[in-house]
């Protein structure tokens, strides 16, 4: 069992499913509101590791969808400043486990990292379905066409 610090947008369906998977696997999830967290540039930057800047963004954010912000054309410094002003732009969730930080929810990567298989056989069926879903993108009706 590990303790997972989990920054989410409260009410986001996918964040809820992600927490369900973590909890079912026996981990302790401590959830924080990503949108009200007092981020600093340094702290936020530490979650993105060596991923390209375009992978830091929440593709479902309206300012990205509208084309106002094009993640591929933004440099790291600008991206971080935009995100501090408008945390909806931050890809969710941000997770902190021990001294490691990650962005997004790649089920296979997380399974390899801390294990996502449920301890309880009755939970396996439920979580198997979650495992097969795309838990990366946000599940709003108008966004189902956008797959990255």
Q: Note whether residue 148 is domain-resident.
A: no
Domain count, the chain: 1
CATH number reported for the structural domain that contains residue 106 in this entry: 3.40.30.10
Contacts of 138-145 with CB under 8 Å at 24 or more apart are 138/12, 138/13, 138/14, 138/58, 138/60, 138/92, 139/13, 139/14, 140/60, 143/60, 143/65
Q: Note whether residue 61 is domain-resident.
A: yes
Q: Note whether residue 96 is domain-resident.
A: yes
Which of 4, 6, 7, 12 is flagged as catalytic? Answer: 12
Q: Note whether residue 100 is domain-resident.
A: yes
Q: Note whether residue 133 is domain-resident.
A: yes
Query: The tokens of 66 are what?
Result: 């509208």
Q: Note whether residue 57 is domain-resident.
A: yes
* Active-site residue, 12 included: yes
Q: Show pLDDT as tens, one digit a residue, over the chain (148 residues).
A: 899 999 999 999 999 999 999 999 999 999 999 999 999 999 999 999 999 999 999 999 999 999 999 999 999 999 999 999 999 999 999 999 999 999 999 998 999 999 988 877 777 777 777 777 776 665 444 433 444 4
């Amino acid at each position: 069992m590990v303790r997972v610090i989990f920054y989410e947008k409260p009410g986001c369906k996918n964040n809820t499913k992600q927490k369900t998977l973590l909890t079912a696997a026996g981990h302790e999830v401590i959830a924080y509101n990503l949108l009200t967290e007092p981020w600093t540039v340094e702290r936020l930057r530490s979650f993105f590791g060596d991923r390209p800047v375009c992978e830091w963004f929440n593709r479902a954010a309206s300012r990205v969808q509208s084309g106002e912000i094009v993640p591929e054309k933004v440099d790291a410094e600008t991206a971080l400043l935009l995100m501090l002003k408008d945390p909806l732009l931050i890809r969710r969730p941000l997770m902190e486990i021990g001294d490691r930080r990650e962005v997004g929810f790649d089920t296979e990567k997380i399974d390899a990292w801390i294990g996502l298989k449920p301890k309880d056989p009755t939970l396996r069926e439920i979580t198997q379905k979650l495992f097969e879903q795309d838990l990366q993108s946000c599940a709003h009706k108008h966004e189902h066409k956008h797959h990255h």
